[in-house]
Amino acid sequence: MIDIPKNKKVILFDGVCNLCNNSVIKAIKYDKKETFLFASLQSDSGKEITNYLGINTAKIDSIILYEPNVSYDVKSTAALKVMNDFGGIWNLTKLLWVFPEGFRNFVYDYIAKNRYVWFGKKESCMIPTPELKAKFLD
C-alpha cells in the first residue's frame, strides 16, 4: 500500500473530467492547512487505493475522500468534508449537512452524470506543474 503521511487525507478524482480538474485546482488553492493529497482514479495510486478499499470505480466514479486508517467517503459527503476543512467562508457549506445524504447524492449524481456534456472531458489526466507535483501521489 502507498505510504501516506498520517496527517494527510487523499482526494481521488476523475482525472479526465474538466469539472473535477478545476475542482482540484480550487481545493489546492483553499487548502491552507496543507491537509490534502490528490490522485486521479485513473492513476496507479488511485487504482491501488480503490483496490485496497474494495471500491469498484465502474460503479463509483465520483470523488472519494480517503483518510488512511480512519475511513473513506464518496460523493456529496466527501465533497462536503473537503469544503468544510477549508474554513472561512467555506464554513457556510456546513449548512448543507441538513439535507439527507440520499437527497445530496441525488443532486451530486445528476451533476456527475452530466459533467462531461456540461464541462467537457480531456483525452488524458492533467499533469501537475512542478510546483504542484508534491500534492499528487503520482
Q: What is the pLDDT of residues 128-138, one digit of tens each?
A: 677 777 788 87
Cell numbers describing residue 59: 460503479
Q: At what angle do helices 101-119 and 75-86 cross, to 10 degrees?
A: 90
Q: Considering its fold, how many domains does the chain have in total?
A: 1
Note down the domain range covering 52. Answer: 9-122
Confidence of residue 106 (pLDDT cuts 50, 70, 90): very high
Strands of the sheet containing 71-74, edge to edge, are 36-40, 9-13, 64-67, 71-74
Judged by average pLDDT, the poorest of 20-34, 47-61, 112-126 is: 112-126
Residue 57: what pLDDT?
A: 85
**Whole-model pTM?**
0.87
In a domain, 131, yes or no: no
Single-letter amino acid, residue 51: N
Residue 105 resides in a domain:
yes
Report the alpha-carbon distance of residue 45 to residue 50 in Å, rounded: 9
Instruction: Give domain status of residue 117, yes or no.
Output: yes
